[in-house]
Chain A
Amino acid sequence: MPISRRRFVKLGAHAAFGGLLVYTLRGVLPKPGAGTADAEVDSAYDSYRPEDHDWAFVIDTMKCIGCGRCARACKQENGVPWEPGCNRTWVERYCFTADGEVHVDSPEGGINGFADEPLPEAIRDKEITKSFFVPKLCNQCDNTPCVQVCPVGATYKTADGIVLVNRDKCIGCRYCIQACPYGMRYLLPDEGVADKCTWCYHRITRGRLPACVEACPVGARKFGDLRDPESAVSKILAERNVSVLKPDMGTKPNAFYLDLDGAVV
């Protein structure tokens, strides 16, 4: 049957309108799977408003005793593989010797502490002039090299300032691992996707502390909300002299260090 031009255009317009209607409704209707997961868990996140928080971390290098319970708790909490090289957080030991050298080590990221090797083998016979521990974790930079280089937009910064990786999108190209000046990222060996410290996003969004903060026996790690002037981190930033790692990289970290030695990188 021949179709008139008028009828053809009319049909087309109806089809277009119908399509748009279906598309609009799709966004309004509940998503498949939503609400079927752990209801309690979902409701905790539903009442969480990322834009109301500005998380910050403070590390007190003069308090750290190098027990490594933070790094161990992190692996348990976040399912980080136990093999070396897979660390979301770790502890470094800095040793300064009388001959002016700086020796840094972190056996297995410090998960077993440093008591098995009271001094690194290489400097065992040297005179130690100064030594301390430095815990490391993601700085959740405001100016993020890792996010900028990702070719598929798999990594991003949330409204509350945490840099996350979308594992469904990550293609495992390792660009971000190269880009991070702090060596904070690694590739999950089985999944083949980039992983990193999230400041325990699943804990902080439930009003808990990151696992490493809770595990620290001496209060060397402090965490809190800069939007809350009464939080421990707000007070420290207001009253004390803090520094960040590699400030000249311009990354604007949100992890701050108290009494940081100038040699720490």
Chain B
Amino acid sequence: MSGVTRAALLLVLLVTVAVLLMQTMTASVSVGLIGLTQEDNPQWWATRPVHNESAAACAECHEETNTAVRASAHATVDCESCHGAGDEHIDLARSGQDAPLVLTDARDLCVTCHAALVSRPDGFPQVDPATHGAPDSGVTSSCESCHNAHDPGFPPDIQHTLGGRSDCLACHGPDQWEPLPPSHADRPGDGCLSCHSAKEQT
């Protein structure tokens, strides 16, 4: 074999080794750098922090409330649906610190689900916020004064703390939630409480 042939063979060998080396050592490194492999990324996504805890976490401290809610007409409503993500509140409470959880105006929250909208499914309990329980209807502007959001009942189990015929008719008037029976149509306007006693009077 001549010197030239040997030199050529050696060159081919060296080039092959160099190419293979570059491919193994640099290619996969740079592919990872510019983004053609995704090895770690699903893990990055999977390890994002959880902010909405669960009713079970709330029940660690609020067992009684949670038990009532789960047995109520709001059984399928998660605590955080109304109260918002609870992670900060729960972290503070678990470490024994003061953990205020301010709920925004409950009336706004209630109407988010219960204001009458033509787009909502028929049969879902809805009221017109302009007339139902509004100040001029003789009741009050706060849903919670009649309804208990943690145990609303269906039909709503009203806390009967009201006195006087006009207040009764706010809910039991002809077009209201639970109208009086026809036999009551000609009864005097101020005498409900002479026959009926409110379930719970204050």
Asked if A48 CB lies within 8 Å of chain B CBs, one says yes
Given A77-B85, A154-B35, A202-B50, A164-B42 contact (CB < 8 Å): yes
171-186 of chain B: CB within 8 A of chain A: none
Asked if B97 CB lies within 8 Å of chain A CBs, one says no
The interface residues of chain A lying within 8 Å CB-to-CB of B44 are: 166
CB distance from B21 to the nearest CB of A (A): 6
**Contact assessment for A169 and B42 in the assembled complex, using a CB-CB cutoff below 8 Å:** no
Asked if B78 CB lies within 8 Å of chain A CBs, one says yes
**Contact assessment for A211 and B52 in the assembled complex, using a CB-CB cutoff below 8 Å:** yes
164-201 of chain A: CB within 8 A of chain B: 164, 166, 168-169, 198, 201
Q: Can you name the residue of chain B whose Cβ is closest to the Cβ of A119?
A: B118
CB distance from B43 to the nearest CB of A (A): 5
Q: Which of B42, B76, B115 contacts A217 (CB 8 A)?
A: B76
Asked if A112 CB lies within 8 Å of chain B CBs, one says yes
Asked if B25 CB lies within 8 Å of chain A CBs, one says yes
**Contact assessment for A76 and B52 in the assembled complex, using a CB-CB cutoff below 8 Å:** yes
Asked if A16 CB lies within 8 Å of chain B CBs, one says yes
Q: Which of A65-73, A138-146, A223-231, A234-242 contacts B (4 or more CB under 8 A)?
A: A65-73
Asked if B47 CB lies within 8 Å of chain A CBs, one says yes
Q: How far is the CA of A78 from the CA of B48 in the complex (A)?
A: 8
Asked if B202 CB lies within 8 Å of chain A CBs, one says no
Q: How far is the CA of A77 from the CA of B78 in the complex (A)?
A: 14
**Contact assessment for A201 and B35 in the assembled complex, using a CB-CB cutoff below 8 Å:** no
Q: Which of A5, A37, A76, A168 contacts B85 (CB 8 A)?
A: A76
The interface residues of chain A lying within 8 Å CB-to-CB of B52 are: 73, 76-77, 211, 214-215
Interface residues on B, range: 35 or more
Given A115-B129, A131-B118, A217-B46 contact (CB < 8 Å): no
Given A38-B47, A77-B50, A77-B85, A218-B76 contact (CB < 8 Å): yes
**Contact assessment for A214 and B78 in the assembled complex, using a CB-CB cutoff below 8 Å:** yes
**Contact assessment for B85 and A169 in the assembled complex, using a CB-CB cutoff below 8 Å:** no
11-34 of chain B: CB within 8 A of chain A: 13-14, 17, 21, 24-25, 34
Q: How far is the CA of A255 from the CA of B120 in the complex (A)?
A: 22
Q: Can you name the residue of chain A whose Cβ is closest to the Cβ of B43?
A: A45
Proximity string of chain B (101-119) to chain A, C-beta cutoff 8 Å, 1 when within and 0 when not? 0000000000111011111
Q: How far is the CA of A211 from the CA of B34 in the complex (A)?
A: 32
Interface centre among B36, B84, B112 (most CB of A within 10 A): B112
Asked if B45 CB lies within 8 Å of chain A CBs, one says yes
Asked if B197 CB lies within 8 Å of chain A CBs, one says no
**Contact assessment for A217 and B78 in the assembled complex, using a CB-CB cutoff below 8 Å:** yes
Asked if A93 CB lies within 8 Å of chain B CBs, one says yes
Given A164-B41, A164-B42, A41-B116 contact (CB < 8 Å): no
The interface residues of chain A lying within 8 Å CB-to-CB of B47 are: 37-38, 41-42, 45, 202
The interface residues of chain A lying within 8 Å CB-to-CB of B82 are: 69
Interface centre among B42, B50, B81 (most CB of A within 10 A): B42
Q: A41-B47, A133-B120 are in contact. List 7 more A-B contacts (CB 8 A).
A: A65-B124, A114-B117, A154-B35, A164-B41, A166-B38, A166-B44, A215-B78
> Which residues of B are at the interface with A, using a C-beta cutoff of 8 A?
10, 13-14, 17, 21, 24-25, 34-36, 38, 41-52, 54, 74, 76-78, 80-82, 84-85, 111-113, 115-121, 124, 129
16 sample A-B contacts, Cβ–Cβ < 8 Å, listed by A number: A42-B47, A45-B47, A65-B120, A78-B48, A93-B119, A94-B119, A112-B112, A113-B113, A113-B115, A114-B119, A156-B38, A156-B41, A164-B41, A202-B45, A216-B81, A217-B78
> Which residues of A are at the interface with B, using a C-beta cutoff of 8 A?
5, 9, 12-13, 16, 19-20, 23, 37-38, 41-42, 44-45, 48, 50, 62-69, 72-73, 76-78, 93-95, 112-115, 118-119, 128, 131-133, 152-154, 156, 158, 164, 166, 168-169, 198, 201-203, 205-206, 208, 211, 214-219
